[in-house]
Structure 1
């Protein structure tokens, strides 16, 4: 009974960290709206927060795995939280600088803060994903626990979008300093989590030494190598859809940032619903079946959203100043884009589950490599932003279609376990 309680205690803490990761990471997208309105700034430059946050995964992925091997999950989580506190404070400081006097300095300081926060997110991701998979015993049960963590991850993402939408109700006048309440909430969450984890006992699984020389061994598994590319491209779907829907609604449709934030929050609410479903069926439905189904639906939804008629339909929003529900006209295709959240809800956990299956002694280093590939978000955001600048926001969703097609290939062919000799 004591061992069971300890295990559930560890599960609850890992799930709480999952939620924290979403709140802090999703600050980057509404912040892109603020940055884009500081002057004549392209979509590519507006994504600097996402670049800083996700490029950090490229730097920290493998070192994070080494930290876990040396210090264990608990101490590594504490290290990550301290790093996160520093990153949040630097982002806050960037908002206290005079943007009119030196906009470049403001962006530079903000980028450093986003990068340091990204280091934290990478470390925490390296903790929560393999830990939940291990606590669930791998296979379908491991996938189920990761999906449960995803439920809380999506809840935090919805809260982030609603809060930021309220703070930057008028995007044309918003400054980085306007995001101070959200940054302070994130800082408080880090502090509370640090204290709770510090005084909580976590049953640590045995860790094999993590050596860079093991990278070759892990990458010799074809299903893992293809899975790393899968998570690289998946990030382009998960973040790209809400990010560019948000920019499209504000820039092309003239919808207030507060209302647009509430509309985009529906995407994360769809992810929340999808993860509830994924968590409930995760021990019965294989990860391969999940990815096959949701990648196919994603392709269909995005294509419909791109080619749907320009018919305007009413969508519920919130006037946060008066605390009233309002209705805003948006293009019909936006509904289709928002429904993609139902599909992305189970992608992360299922791809991770398939990619690390059967790796044995390479699992620890594989987790680090896997997290490194999350920097694909920065690359895919830059690619989609470039397409948006050249051909418009709607045409930029061809990038999302490409990513979904690859995931379908991975589920049907690439995820089959086969060691490359």
Structure 2
């Protein structure tokens, strides 16, 4: 192994730790179900919690891209971890609906800073055609945290009578990530050459067809991701009369297969054309949505949830890298716009909650998620032209 390769590995370790910390945002799904039960909330009010997380992607994504031009990507990631630590600490100090709204808001702000800055930071270590594969590896590490969240919450609730111990465990890991990245030097010389941009110049990039299609695709990807995270337990409780503790396993099934999808995607995207992986991924989600509308057995639900996990696992990496490589000289601004698309995590749950309450059935939530899948299906021709 060469000195350069060893240096790359030492830089990748804290970056991957940061990707794991990025996955803490997905605790919002299982946490929302516990908060809903603790405070006896309606679907509409409960879904306000994940909306508070993802709302900040709309507000802070583009300003974060501009901030990176001034202080650098690594310092922006460090700032994001500090904000995440504050978000995880608050519920341990005071647990109320109001404090959870504030905690989830801080979690969203921290995750916005991290999502915008961490992906281009990785591009300083890994470049070219391997970027999509490396981003997928990062998403795999992130998915491990997402997968563990409901398991840890369930274990803490059953063993200790306090599901909020999840926040304490993740808090310790976040501090470790901050220390490791703080001790690591990553050359950002290419980023330093990027000139400062105005809001108008950033949003003007949406006039580019590739950037716009990728942006809307990420909106739908995150809407589906957060939507199924929230809805899967509710579907099982509604259709099969399961308890929350039992139905919460559905979230783990989703993240398990999303983790498997990210892991396999890191290799598939390194050896197969992105367009082929994209097409297969979307078709798996189409099949899953049809199944969630029609299937009734527990096994069938798990199969559909697994298909969404596999299908949705690499969509973000493919669309993000597509946009980043399309305009490499504007990667900070493009990153800000792409991460702003995570606002889909606010839009989808809000409409899912409203439609589900109106129909008095989680089938309404499935219908809203299906709209996102249909959009991804509709952009396949554009992806095939690449």
Q: TM-score, normalised by structure 1?
A: 0.84
- Taking structure 1 as reference, are residues 266 and 331 closer, same or farther at Cα in structure 2, changes over 3 Å only? closer
Q: Which runs of 4+ in 1 moved over 4 A?
A: 414-417
**Structure 1 SS opposite 2:291:** helix
| Pair 1:124-2:111 in alignment | no
Offset at residue 130 of structure 1 (A): 2.0
Matched residues in 1 for 2:69 and 2:269: separation? 28
Matched residues in 2 for 1:408 and 1:254: separation? 33
Query: After the TM superposition, which of the residue ranges 40-49 and 118-127 deviates more from structure 2?
Result: 40-49
| Pair 1:187-2:171 in alignment | yes
**Structure 2 SS opposite 1:27:** helix
Contact 1:295 1:408 in 2 (8 A): yes
Query: Cα RMSD over matched residues?
Result: 2.1
Query: After the TM superposition, which of the residue ranges 343-352 and 123-132 deviates more from structure 2?
Result: 123-132
The aligned residue for residue 281 of structure 2 is: 294
Q: TM-score, normalised by structure 2?
A: 0.91
Contact 1:227 1:410 in 2 (8 A): no
Report which of the two has the higher share of helix. Answer: 2
- Taking structure 1 as reference, are residues 89 and 39 closer, same or farther at Cα in structure 2, changes over 3 Å only? closer
Contact 1:305 1:334 in 2 (8 A): no
Larger radius of gyration: 1
Q: How many residues align?
A: 380
The aligned residue for residue 195 of structure 2 is: 209
**Match among 127, 139, 143 for residue 154 of structure 1:** 143
- Taking structure 1 as reference, are residues 112 and 415 closer, same or farther at Cα in structure 2, changes over 3 Å only? farther
1:338-357 Cα distance to aligned partner (Å, 9 max, x none): 32101111111011112223
- Taking structure 1 as reference, are residues 167 and 49 closer, same or farther at Cα in structure 2, changes over 3 Å only? farther
Offset at residue 414 of structure 1 (A): 6.4
**Match among 153, 164, 173 for residue 153 of structure 2:** 164
**Structure 2 SS opposite 1:37:** helix
The aligned residue for residue 367 of structure 2 is: 398
**Match among 303, 306, 321 for residue 290 of structure 2:** 303
Contact 1:94 1:107 in 2 (8 A): no
Matched residues in 2 for 1:168 and 1:51: separation? 24
- Taking structure 1 as reference, are residues 52 and 355 closer, same or farther at Cα in structure 2, changes over 3 Å only? same
- Taking structure 1 as reference, are residues 414 and 148 closer, same or farther at Cα in structure 2, changes over 3 Å only? closer
**Structure 2 SS opposite 1:29:** helix
| Pair 1:55-2:55 in alignment | yes
